[in-house]
A and B are shown apart, each in its own frame.
Chain A
Amino acid sequence: MTTVAAPPIVEMRDINVAFGGVHAVRNVTLDLHEGEVVGLVGGNGAGKSTLMRVLSGARPADSGEIMVNGSPATIRNPRDAKSYNIETIYQTLALADNIDAPGNVFLGREKTTRLGSLDDSTMEAETRKIMGRLNPNFTRFKMAVRSLSGGQRQAVAIARAVYFNAKILIMDEPTAALGPAETAQVRNLIRQLKEEGIGIFLISHDIHDVFDLSDRISVMYHGQIVDTVDKTSVTPDEIVSMIILGKRPDEATEKELEQLELHT
């Protein structure tokens, strides 16, 4: 564990989420500090995305507490989360395919004129500015995002999260659908955002991504946190064994570790 003096910008305490009889998230406690990247790893169905959906307001927790900057926060829907400057880039990107890039960047938070009409010119100008930073080649501001490439769509989703002064950013598999060049771009962006003091939860299947970018790594297994470790204190192999066995390296028996060696 790192020791930082300031209170964490987010703290999730004893979070529980159940779907019917399935306990998707069980008593999870997790925190995030300013300018920190916490990698969230685990197998399919380990509860990573569900946990993050709690924080982004998409699926409120059944029980548990969320603290933002040390004071309790109520997050019942995505609007609440955004009011705490918690922004999310979903794995599916969650774009309205029939609407253009500016419309998607400002979706739900449109700029309006004094009379309450949509101010499309301002929204387009602002989108041009932010996209100039994220993807300078981007020119298709008037087209439905349906007709954009995977990387361009990803850029729109990121622009939406970054534009509104995110303090806490949740990135769910941000590079899963991207080619190598675009993946490198996203990695650079994460480092850049971290420099700016934004706290980032990074969900990824790619252990190398997580090791590269994270300060701490939380491993989830069957809805629970196995452990949260400092990146410098573990090896990628140890993380992999935690993901698969659901136990800390010192808890796992020799036999289990041997079996793991055989598998890999």
Chain B
Amino acid sequence: MTNAVDATPAVPGQAQPPARTSLSGLLAQTEIDVRLFGMLIAFIAILIGFNIISGGKFFSPNNMVTLAVQASGIAIIATGMVLVIVSRNIDLSVGSLVGVIAMTYALLMTNILPDVLGLSADFPFRWAIALALGIALGAAIGALQGFIIAYIGVPSFIVTLGGLLSIRGVVWYLSSGAAVSGLDANFQLIGGGAQGSLGGPLTWALAIVGCIAIVGFLINGRRQRRRFGFPVRPMWAEVLLGVVGCVVVLGIANFANNNFWPEGLADRIAAQQNWGPKPAGGWHIPAGFPNPLILLLVVTLVMTFIANRRRFGRYVYAYGGNPDAAELAGINTRWTILKTYVLMGVLCALAAAIASARLNGATLDVGQSYELYVIAAAVVGGTSFAGGIGTIPGAVLGAFVLAALAYGLSFIGVNSPGQNVVAGIVLILAVGFDTLNRRRGTTASAR
């Protein structure tokens, strides 16, 4: 269609770079996701706001690490919820799934592994065996729900609502209504805390790896675009992105390393491991990044990779955008949908590990209402219920925004009903703002 009218006069095969005249044009040249950037600003604004209200007490390394640990479980599941909602489904069963898997971990380590299988507490890698079994259970329940949704055709809302009710009931039967406690010491490290953190040197090492990855990513991206003759970002934008990225990563690492082990714990471990005489000001052992945050980082990277660079992810988005088109393109859509629920089960197992490790056991209500926070995180993060739209980093950021609100409100003394009022209003505001923005942007915007 050589005569097709094109809105922008263009050189054939060459996209025009955005104009440099306006602020939005400058932002577009860096090719930063504007929406994600806006959310990041909102998140930082929330932190600063609470810091001012609390008289400078809120923004401490200790508080931020706790906040991160609280957000990680929700954020991990939210990465999967994005794919489920993108493909026009929903999963209401995640809270109950977390509950049943957390209880399974607890029973495995207190009961089944030692008494039934004869693996006593000193058996190596018991934590890994328990974790593997929990992940398998999550995947199996996810597969069953996914099968009923994709192959039998029962709406996902119904199937997972049934899951929400019945799986929570199963938790009661598993332990006859009792709370179970006493997990392996190694398993407890999954939940964070002073010992369940990377420690100073590893935190620095990870930050440096992060910086190298950022620079490598930018260089590789530029080289790829050059190779195929695609337009590249202006050099100033590349350098800016690289410098800002590295400074932020190193800054966060430094911040996390300013969170020190509690004095009592440091003294005790020092005595156990013969660290020698106590220094004058007491031990200063940097805790660094907590393990749940590392787990979240890995999950986010893997899930982003799956969503953007694997066929499965492409098919999920294609199905969400137009189910008929996906089917006619020869995609096995049912198998794709089933896999999203298997993935959800696995992510729930990881979140359940964090939750039960922090509790050192499981109660009947572990994971209660998770489904609501997870869906809220995904939606605040820009996932659309119309299908086909949503990003994994967005959902993670959404989880952090909601967690920061809840933690900040409780920090300044607002009770939990009050936190819910605010969370609900923020949810509606976020989506409302997004809807307006999209409507205005449909004519001229990128996706």
Does the CB pair B13–A128 fall under 8 Å? yes
With A92-B324, A108-B329 as contacts: A136 and B12 at CB distance below 8 Å: yes
Count, chain A residues at interface, CB 8 A: 53
Q: Does B5 contact A (CB under 8 A)?
A: yes
With both beta carbons as reference points, the residue of chain B lying nearest to A155 in the complex is identified as B1
Chain B residues numbered 1-18 whose CB sits less than 8 Å from any CB in chain A: 1-8, 10-16
Q: Which residues of A contact B15 (CB under 8 A)?
A: 139-142
Give Cα distance in the complex from A121 to B222, angstroms.
12
CA distance A50 to B13 in the complex (A): 38
A217 to B310, CA, bound (A): 44
Judge whether A264 is part of the interface by a CB distance below 8 angstroms.
Answer: no
Given the known interface contacts A112-B311, A143-B447, the answer about A99 and B321 at a Cβ–Cβ threshold of 8 Å is: yes
Q: Is the CB of B310 within 8 A of A117?
A: yes
Our pick among B6, B230, B330, B389 for the contact of A109 (Cβ within 8 Å) is: B330
Contact with B along A169-207 (1 / 0, CB 8 A): 000000000000110111000000000000000000000
- Asked if residues A96 and B321 are in contact (CB atoms below 8 Å), the reply is yes
Q: Is the CB of A94 within 8 A of B325?
A: yes
- Contacting residues, chain B, for A221 (C-beta < 8 A): none
Also in contact, A137 and B12, with CB within 8 A (given A98-B320, A112-B311, A118-B311): yes
How far apart sit A16 and B445, CA to CA, in the bound complex (Å)?
47
Q: Does A151 contact B (CB under 8 A)?
A: yes
Q: Please measure, in the bound complex, the distance between the C-alpha atom of A103 and the C-alpha atom of B318, giving whole angstroms.
A: 9
Chain A positions 113-153 with a Cβ under 8 Å from a chain B Cβ: 116-118, 120-121, 124-125, 128, 132, 134-144, 146-147, 149, 151-152
Given contacts A96-B326, A137-B2, contact A108 B16 (CB under 8 A): no
Knowing A108-B330, A155-B1 are in contact, say whether A147-B445 is a contact too (CB < 8 A): yes
Stretch in A33-41, A75-83, A237-245 touching the partner: A75-83
- A58 interfacial by beta-carbon distance below 8 Å: yes
- Interface presence of A95 (CB below 8 A): yes
- A182 with B1, Cβ < 8 A, contacts A94-B328, A99-B321 known: yes
Chain A minimum-CB-distance residue to B320: A98
CA–CA, A149 and B325, complex, Å: 18
Cross-interface CB contact of B10 among A124, A137, A184, cutoff 8 Å: A137
On chain B, the number of residues with a Cβ less than 8 Å from chain A's Cβ atoms is 47
Pairwise interchain contact B330-A154, C-beta atoms closer than 8 A: no
Taking the nearest CB of chain B, how far is it from the CB of A143, in angstroms? 6
B13, A58: Cβ atoms closer than 8 Å: no
Check A103–B314 contact: CB distance below 8 A.
yes
> Min CB distance, A78 to chain B, in Å?
4
Query: How many whole Å from B335's CB to the nearest CB in chain A?
Result: 12
Query: Which residues of chain B are within 8 angstroms of A96 by Cβ–Cβ distance?
Result: 317-319, 321-322, 325-326, 329, 388
Give the residues in chain A near B13, CB-CB below 8 Å.
128, 132, 136, 139
B309 close to chain A: CB less than 8 A? yes
Residue on B nearest A158 in the bound complex, by CB = B1
Closest chain B residue, CB of each to CB of A107: B329
State the CA gap A146–B305 with chains docked (Å): 24
B327 at the interface (CB under 8 A from A): yes
Alpha-carbon distance between A140 and B314 when the two chains are bound, in angstroms: 19
What does the 1/0 interface line of A44-55 toward B look like (CB < 8 Å)? 000000000000
Instruction: Give CA–CA (A66, B15) in the complex, Å.
Output: 44
A-B contacts besides A98-B318, A98-B388, A135-B4, 11 pairs, CB < 8 Å: A58-B327, A92-B324, A94-B329, A96-B321, A96-B322, A96-B325, A107-B329, A139-B15, A149-B7, A152-B4, A185-B1
- 23 A-B contacts (beta carbon < 8 Å): A78-B330, A82-B330, A94-B322, A94-B328, A94-B329, A95-B322, A97-B388, A98-B388, A99-B317, A99-B321, A107-B326, A110-B314, A118-B314, A120-B309, A121-B228, A121-B230, A139-B11, A143-B447, A146-B442, A149-B4, A154-B1, A184-B3, A185-B4
Name B's A-contacting residues (CB within 8 A): 1-8, 10-16, 224-225, 227-228, 230, 305, 308-311, 314-315, 317-322, 324-331, 388-389, 442, 445-447
